[in-house]
């Protein structure tokens, strides 16, 4: 699992201004929300405590999040190929083999997961994966 700040930094790279507009806050306030006021670490901490005390409650939260993501995520645009998957897998493996920093390894693995997940969604939508 990545550090919440790294996840937010990657997810919002190049979109802070439109995000601030979408959230109806100033750009400065948006950076505060993405930085010191980031709600993700707080939510993760709370969910972990709930899971410790109530596994079914944590499953309910997960189901709600899964439902939300199914609703908000559109099918991946563009066609990902086996070459894209290979490239991301190669980069992730190289990061591990060369003992890159924990953050670099996590980033590369997350990029691999993102490509694989997008391809899986495409497979479910089309009924097949594209070979090239």
Average pLDDT over residues 72-76: 75
Asked, for residue 124, whether it belongs to a domain, the answer is: yes
CA dist., res. 71 & res. 73, Å (int): 6
Pick the closest to residue 118 from 69, 77, 87, 67 (CA basis): 77
The residue count for the chain? 132
The pTM (predicted TM-score) of the whole model is 0.60
Task: State residue 74's pLDDT score.
Answer: 76
Task: State residue 70's pLDDT score.
Answer: 82
Confidence of residue 125 (pLDDT cuts 50, 70, 90): low
Task: State residue 127's pLDDT score.
Answer: 54
Task: State residue 105's pLDDT score.
Answer: 92
Segments forming the whole domain that contains residue 105: 78-132
Ranges 3-7, 61-65, 87-91, 111-115: which has the least confidence: 3-7
Asked, for residue 2, whether it belongs to a domain, the answer is: no
Confidence of residue 76 (pLDDT cuts 50, 70, 90): low
Asked, for residue 119, whether it belongs to a domain, the answer is: yes
- On the question of pLDDT at 123 being above 80, the answer is no
Asked, for residue 47, whether it belongs to a domain, the answer is: no
Task: State residue 78's pLDDT score.
Answer: 67
Number of domains in the chain: 1
Q: How does the average pLDDT of the chain come out, rounded?
A: 87
Phi then psi for residue 92, to 5 deg, are -65, -45
Asked, for residue 97, whether it belongs to a domain, the answer is: yes
The CA-atom distances, in angstroms, between 112 and each of 4, 38, 61, 98 are 18, 25, 26, 17
Asked, for residue 52, whether it belongs to a domain, the answer is: no
Asked, for residue 10, whether it belongs to a domain, the answer is: no
Asked, for residue 104, whether it belongs to a domain, the answer is: yes
Helical H segments across the chain, by residue range: 4-12, 16-23, 27-34, 39-53, 55-72, 82-97, 102-126
Average pLDDT over residues 51-60: 96
String of DSSP letters for 48-83: HHHHHH-HHHHHHHHHHHHHHHHHHPPPPPS---HH
């Amino acid at each position: 699992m990545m550090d919440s700040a790294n996840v937010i930094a990657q997810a919002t790279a190049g979109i802070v201004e439109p995000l601030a507009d979408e959230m109806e806050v100033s750009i400065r306030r948006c950076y505060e929300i993405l930085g010191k006021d980031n709600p993700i670490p707080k939510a993760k901490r709370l969910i972990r405590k709930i899971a410790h005390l109530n596994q079914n409650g944590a499953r309910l939260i997960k189901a709600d999040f899964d439902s939300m993501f199914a609703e908000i995520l559109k099918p991946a645009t563009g066609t990902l190929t086996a070459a894209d998957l290979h490239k991301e897998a190669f980069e992730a493996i190289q990061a591990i083999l060369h003992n890159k920093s924990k953050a670099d390894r996590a980033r590369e693995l997350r990029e691999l997961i993102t490509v694989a997940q997008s391809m899986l969604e495409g497979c479910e939508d089309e009924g097949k994966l594209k070979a090239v």
